[in-house]
């Protein structure tokens, strides 16, 4: 996935592993997270996904 760094506006490419997604019939939709850094300024980015 590509996101913009909030500090320097450089495009950051990050890999987010596939998750189970949100299933309406399930009460358990665990939010997961991962971290990456901007290669331009070093700002740490936290990504959350289902």
Q: Give the pLDDT of the chain (50 residues) as one tens digit per residue.
A: 899 999 999 999 888 877 677 777 777 778 888 899 999 999 999 988 87
pLDDT of residue 5: 94
Burial class (CB in 10 A: 0-12, 13-18, 19+), 38: buried
List the chain domain ranges.
2-49
31 and 19 Cβ atoms separated by less than 8 Å? no
In the block, residue with structure tokens 């700002």: 43
Measured distance CA(14)–CA(11) in Å, rounded: 10
pLDDT of residue 22: 74
pLDDT of residue 41: 96
Measured distance CA(3)–CA(24) in Å, rounded: 27
Count Cβ atoms below 10 Å from residue 1 Cβ, excluding itself.
9
Instruction: Kindly report whether the global pTM for this prediction surpasses the value 0.85.
Output: no
């Amino acid at each position: 996935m590509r996101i913009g760094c909030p500090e320097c506006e450089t495009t950051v490419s990050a890999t987010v592993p596939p998750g189970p997604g949100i299933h309406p019939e399930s009460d358990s939709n665990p939010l997961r997270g991962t971290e990456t850094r901007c290669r331009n300024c070093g700002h740490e980015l936290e990504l959350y996904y289902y």
